[in-house]
A and B are shown apart, each in its own frame.
Chain A
Amino acid sequence: MNPITAASPQHGDTLTRARPLLGTLVEISVRGASTPALNTAIEQAFAAVQCIQALMSYHDPKSDVSRVNRSGTTGITVDPHTWFVLDTARAIAEASNGLFDISIAPELVREGYLPHHADLAPVDPAANWQHIELLPDHRVRFSHSLHIDLGGIAKGYAVDCAIRALQNAGIPAGRVNAGGDLRLFGEVAETIHVRHPGAATQLLPLCQLRDGAVATSAPYYSQRLHPDRVVTPLINPTTRQPCTDTRSVSVLANHCMLADALSKVVFADPDQAIAVLDQFGAHAVMIDADSNLPAHCRVRLSDSTGWHDALSEAAA
């Protein structure tokens, strides 16, 4: 057996901690300050993540998301953080013609990824993101009965908030990784790895990143095998069915919230996503497993003109 190597977070002046939050492991790493300062900054960053979790969890009946879902067509005032995420979700839904849609909570409940809340009113099957009204003074109401889930965007936002907490604490360099939604800052570029979509413990160096975010969506750990089909939590808002491609999508953007949400747009429709990525200044890579050659993958990179096969370029 190969020796197991470990990246020791106590290396040099770097401090790294991980806690179970947001339904995944959230890892925060900081460097370039005294140990007490790094410890304080990490605590503040975890507190920021916990704050976003408390506001935007579908599971927690006290969260803004649960309150909005219960309030339905009556309307309710939410926290400015929640409002900001809802506003961004609307902008991405608009730009993508609904390829990003936070009203897919009923489908996620149906597929077993979210809990059933008995106290919610039945949804209107025709309702979608367009029926979420964002009113002045952080008020939100639904014009048609629907249920929202911020699972496709709030994790990225929590990462952004954690990064802001680290920067506000005066830390010069750091990284926050919430189960694949990753953002880093500082002077030194770092290598970002992605997982093989068909063999998730194999890693591929993806890019160098100095200051920015990467979010990856892939069904490798979340898919479930049902007797008659495979389900994933990646719901295509147009068909309202799970995407089941053995594909991994990574989006690079300045903010992790954008990277997180845009990865769902690419998953739903790669071709339509090109213009949306461009509008938000983001870049994407799609990795498809090759069932004939398990170690090989088809890799495509986006630019403003479309998708380009990295493999054919390399072969040429």
Chain B
Amino acid sequence: MQHPPVWLIAPALAAFVAAPAYAVQYLNIEQAQKQFFPQAESFALSPLALTSEQKAFVEKVAGVRMRYTRQPIWKALANGKQVGWVVQDEVFGKHEFITYAVALDMAGTVMGVEILEYRETHGREVRNANWRAQFHGKQHGAPLQLDNDIQNISGATLSCKHISEGVRRILALHETALK
């Protein structure tokens, strides 16, 4: 670097402030659908309720626990014909709650994965279903309060292990229920 960096920590370093929980909304589900399948003219919601046999199959094949038996799924339709699937899913770790969407073609190949929302918190709220539930429905255009001060965090996020597991679960779900 040509010049020494402009440090901000000198006066403020004594204590870390408990910054507000960090959250970003990247896309809502409608935007993700259009991005995955620009050729589609409509997306038909066809939510899936897994039977206990299907749930057991998913857990066995994917090697991960299936927390829900219901999954929001859309058929992408172009010229009246289905061209693929969009599956919405969520994963959470110790401090993070992530919703994301996966696009599958008719053969069940992953065409794309987009993060819809990323939220992190200091506490144990993320383990609490009611805390997570308050964000459901936010995808449908509800404006979120802005906090543009915290956009650049240098420091690891969680590994994307949970998302990889989630995608594996969705592929098994396609195998047993969407073929």
B141-155: which residues lie under 8 A (CB-CB) from chain A?
A: 143-155
B125 at the interface (CB under 8 A from A): yes
B163: chain A residues within 8 A (beta carbon): 20
B113: chain A residues within 8 A (beta carbon): 19-20
A112 at the interface (CB under 8 A from B): no
B80: chain A residues within 8 A (beta carbon): none
Q: Which residue of A lies closest to B21 (CB)?
A: A4
Q: Which residue of A lies closest to B32 (CB)?
A: A17
Cα A313 to Cα B12 in complex, Å, equals 11
Binary per-residue interface labels of chain A (13-34) against chain B in the complex, 1 for a CB within 8 Å, 0 otherwise? 0001111110111010100000
B76-116: which residues lie under 8 A (CB-CB) from chain A?
A: 95, 100, 112-115
Binary per-residue interface labels of chain A (255-292) against chain B in the complex, 1 for a CB within 8 Å, 0 otherwise? 00000000000000000000000000111010000000
B121 at the interface (CB under 8 A from A): yes
Which stretch from B3-11, B40-48, B50-58, B62-70 is at the chain A interface?
Answer: B3-11
Binary per-residue interface labels of chain A (206-227) against chain B in the complex, 1 for a CB within 8 Å, 0 otherwise? 1111001011101011100000
B112: chain A residues within 8 A (beta carbon): 19
A205 at the interface (CB under 8 A from B): yes
Q: Which residue of A lies closest to B166 (CB)?
A: A20
A216: chain B residues within 8 A (beta carbon): 154-156
A218 touching B120 by the CB < 8 A rule? Answer: no
Among A39, A193, A285, point to the contact of B153 (Cβ < 8 A).
Answer: A193
A24: chain B residues within 8 A (beta carbon): 156-157, 159-160
A29: chain B residues within 8 A (beta carbon): 151
The total of Cβ contacts below 8 Å across the A-B interface reads 220
Cα A30 to Cα B26 in complex, Å, equals 12
A48 at the interface (CB under 8 A from B): no
B157: chain A residues within 8 A (beta carbon): 24-25, 179-180, 221
- Least distance between A188 CB and chain B CB atoms (Å): 12
Q: A4-B20, A19-B113 are in contact. Are A9 and B5 (CB under 8 A)?
A: no
A1 touching B155 by the CB < 8 A rule? Answer: no
B139 at the interface (CB under 8 A from A): no
B17 at the interface (CB under 8 A from A): yes
Cα A206 to Cα B122 in complex, Å, equals 20
B147 touching A218 by the CB < 8 A rule? Answer: no
B35: chain A residues within 8 A (beta carbon): 39
B115 touching A202 by the CB < 8 A rule? Answer: no
A141 at the interface (CB under 8 A from B): no
A204 touching B13 by the CB < 8 A rule? Answer: yes
B164: chain A residues within 8 A (beta carbon): 20
B129 at the interface (CB under 8 A from A): no
B145 touching A209 by the CB < 8 A rule? Answer: no
Among A8, A177, A202, A205, point to the contact of B9 (Cβ < 8 A).
Answer: A205
Cα A68 to Cα B153 in complex, Å, equals 34
- Least distance between A315 CB and chain B CB atoms (Å): 8
Query: Which of B8, B9, B27 lies at the interface centre, i.e. has the most chain A CB atoms within 10 A of its CB?
Result: B9
B14: chain A residues within 8 A (beta carbon): 296, 311, 314
Q: Which residue of B lies closest to A215 (CB)?
A: B154
A295 touching B16 by the CB < 8 A rule? Answer: yes
A193 touching B152 by the CB < 8 A rule? Answer: yes
A79 at the interface (CB under 8 A from B): no
B156 touching A180 by the CB < 8 A rule? Answer: yes
Among B144, B147, B155, point to the contact of A195 (Cβ < 8 A).
Answer: B155
Among A17, A201, A253, A285, point to the contact of B7 (Cβ < 8 A).
Answer: A285
- Least distance between A17 CB and chain B CB atoms (Å): 6
A–B Cβ pairs within 8 angstroms, 19 of them: A5-B146, A19-B114, A20-B115, A21-B160, A23-B160, A179-B157, A194-B154, A200-B95, A200-B156, A201-B122, A203-B16, A206-B154, A207-B6, A215-B154, A216-B155, A216-B156, A220-B156, A250-B155, A285-B7
- A residues within 8 Å of B by Cβ? 1-11, 16-21, 23-25, 27, 29, 39, 175, 177, 179-182, 184, 189-196, 199-209, 212, 214-216, 218, 220-222, 248, 250, 252-254, 281-283, 285, 295-297, 299, 301, 303, 310-311, 313-314
| Extra contacts besides A16-B26, A215-B154 (18): CB < 8 Å | A2-B20, A6-B25, A8-B24, A17-B27, A23-B159, A39-B35, A190-B151, A203-B150, A205-B9, A206-B7, A206-B9, A209-B6, A212-B1, A216-B154, A295-B16, A296-B15, A301-B7, A314-B11
